């Protein structure tokens, strides 16, 4: 019983990234004295670093071997995601998905590879080779031009597999296109950002905002960067009344901010009916895509047919909302 308890304690340390040194503390032993009685001896620092860590690694390797056997039976998808840390280093994460589930394969420093199409191709091609070309059905990456070009090179070399763009990334690019290519979206999102950044960079204005909105915030994170922009516009619109009361209140008029250039600009935006009408227009166009983005991110409908069908409905909803007038 102690052995199994120690394994679970060790697993807690590994999964939660808790420093192993914490187990040396007197408070840790006291905690277990209260949980299991003074006779229980928790794992030592050396056991966490050695015996139980080795057992955990062996168990994970065994689990991955079971996944690899599934890849040979059913085929699999390679999923590629990259991100850049605060030091400017681009990390590329590789996952493999099959009916058995998704497993993490490896991470690579892709700072140099991601700069060129050839670099991305070589990186992806190497992963396909590692997993086994005969096991791979498709490779899923971001929908940016470099990845699209590398995906095309991949399927030309390895003709038995497909390249697919990530659905979430593709929808995010559509929302980005709204903001960058449509004048009303670009201006409205920019004004919305001015309002939120101005208020949230000043603690006294945050307190004043919460007083009028009864604790509600204007910023709520979305699945992606550009979804967040439109969700923020929705939050602004939902708090239109409280914002107008805030900027016409005695507290605002008597504050230092009311006399500043930025303060006057932000108040002018809030009190402008045209701004609120523009938000409605933007939300009519973007809301169907944001709802689809939410559905896709849930992973409850992983089949590609679902995405195509829902995308068709999104187009119809937008078309109907603007009464089929193309210029609108």
Residue range 229-234: mean pLDDT, rounded = 94
Asked if residue 288 is part of any domain, the answer here is yes
327 domain residue, yes or no:
no
61 falls within a domain: no
Same-domain status, 238 and 141 = no
Burial of residue 89 (CB within 10 Å: 0-12, 13-18, 19+) is: exposed
pLDDT-derived band at 328, boundaries 50, 70, 90:
confident
pLDDT in tens, 119-131: 999 999 999 999 9
Please report whether residue 144 resides in a domain. yes
Task: Indicate the pLDDT class of residue 117, thresholds 50, 70 and 90.
Answer: very high
Q: How many domains does the chain have?
A: 3
Provide the CATH number for the domain around residue 159.
Answer: 3.30.420.60
Q: Are residues 314 and 204 in the same domain?
A: yes
What confidence score (pLDDT) does residue 2 get?
86
Whether 216 shows a pLDDT value over 80: the answer reads: yes
**165, 192, 227 - which closes a domain:** 165
Percentage of the chain lying above the pLDDT 70 cut: 98
Beta carbons within 10 angstroms of residue 242's beta carbon: 17
* The pLDDT of residue 301 is above 70: no
Judgement on whether residues 295 and 156 belong to the same structural domain of the protein:
no
pLDDT band at 158 (very low <50, low <70, confident <90, very high): very high
Residue 279: which pLDDT band, with cuts at 50, 70 and 90? very high
Residues 94 and 157 in one domain: yes
Looking at residue 167, what is its pLDDT?
A: 87
- Do 207 and 283 belong together in one domain? yes
308 in the same domain as 233: yes
pLDDT tops 90 at residue 47:
yes
Q: What is the mean pLDDT of the chain?
A: 91
**Is 299 a residue whose pLDDT tops 70?**
no
Q: Are residues 151 and 185 located together in one domain of the fold?
A: no
> Is 309 among the domain residues?
yes
State the pLDDT at residue 46: 93
Are 42 and 79 contained in the same domain?
no
Answer yes or no: is pLDDT of 13 > 70.
yes
* C-beta pairs of 192-198 under 8 Å, 24+ apart in sequence: 192/229, 192/232, 192/233, 192/236, 192/279, 193/229, 193/232, 194/265, 194/266, 194/269, 195/236, 195/243, 195/266, 195/269, 195/270, 196/232, 196/236, 198/262, 198/263, 198/266
Range of the domain at 98: 74-165
Q: What's the pLDDT score for residue 14?
A: 93
Q: Are residues 148 and 179 in the same domain?
A: no
- With respect to residue 122, please indicate whether it lies within any of the assigned structural domains: yes
pLDDT at 295: 84
Assess whether 263 and 179 both reside in one domain.
Answer: yes
Q: Is 40 part of a structural domain of the chain?
A: yes
Q: Which of 134, 165, 196 is the last residue of a domain?
A: 165
Identify whether residues 306 and 287 lie together within a single domain.
Answer: yes
**Residue range 200-227: mean pLDDT, rounded:** 90
- Identify the pLDDT of residue 303: 65
pLDDT at 196 over 60: yes
Q: Residue 39: pLDDT band by 50, 70, 90 thresholds? A: confident
**Looking at residue 34, what is its pLDDT?**
85
Q: Which residues contact 307 (CB under 8 A, 6 or more apart)?
A: 167, 296, 301
| Res. 307 pLDDT band, cuts 50 70 90 | confident
Shared domain for 123 and 244, answered yes or no, is no
Please state the rounded mean pLDDT for residues 59-72: 91
């Amino acid at each position: 019983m102690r052995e199994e308890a120690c394994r679970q304690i060790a697993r807690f340390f590994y999964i939660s990234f808790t420093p192993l040194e914490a187990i040396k503390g007197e408070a840790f032993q006291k905690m277990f004295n209260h949980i299991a009685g003074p006779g229980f001896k928790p794992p030592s620092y050396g056991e966490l670093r050695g015996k139980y860590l080795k057992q955990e690694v062996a168990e994970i390797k065994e689990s991955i071997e079971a996944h690899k056997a599934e890849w040979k039976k059913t085929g699999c998808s390679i999923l590629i995601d990259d991100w850049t840390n605060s030091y400017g280093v681009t990390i590329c994460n590789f996952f493999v998905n099959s009916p058995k589930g998704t497993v993490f394969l490896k991470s690579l420093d892709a700072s140099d590879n991601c700069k060129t199409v050839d670099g991305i191709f070589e990186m992806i091609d190497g992963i396909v080779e590692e997993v086994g070309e005969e096991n791979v059905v498709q490779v899923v990456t971001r929908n940016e031009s470099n990845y699209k070009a590398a995906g095309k090179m991949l399927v030309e070399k390895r003709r038995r597999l497909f390249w697919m763009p990530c659905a979430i990334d593709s929808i995010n690019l559509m929302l980005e296109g709204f903001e960058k290519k449509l004048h009303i979206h670009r201006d409205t999102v920019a004004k919305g950002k001015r309002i939120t950044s101005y208020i949230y960079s000043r603690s006294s204005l945050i307190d004043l905002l919460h007083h009028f909105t009864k604790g509600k915030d204007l910023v709520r994170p979305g699945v992606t960067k550009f979804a967040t922009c439109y969700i923020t516009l929705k939050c602004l619109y939902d708090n239109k009344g409280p914002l107008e009361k805030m900027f016409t209140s005695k507290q605002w008029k008597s504050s230092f901010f009311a006399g500043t250039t930025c303060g006057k600009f932000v108040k002018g935006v809030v009190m402008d009916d045209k701004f609120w009408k523009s938000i409605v227009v933007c939300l009519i166009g973007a809301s169907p895509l944001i709802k689809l983005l939410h559905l896709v991110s849930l992973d409850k409908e992983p089949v590609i047919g679902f995405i195509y069908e829902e995308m068709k409905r999104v187009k119809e909803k937008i078309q109907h909302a603007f009464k089929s007038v193309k210029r609108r």
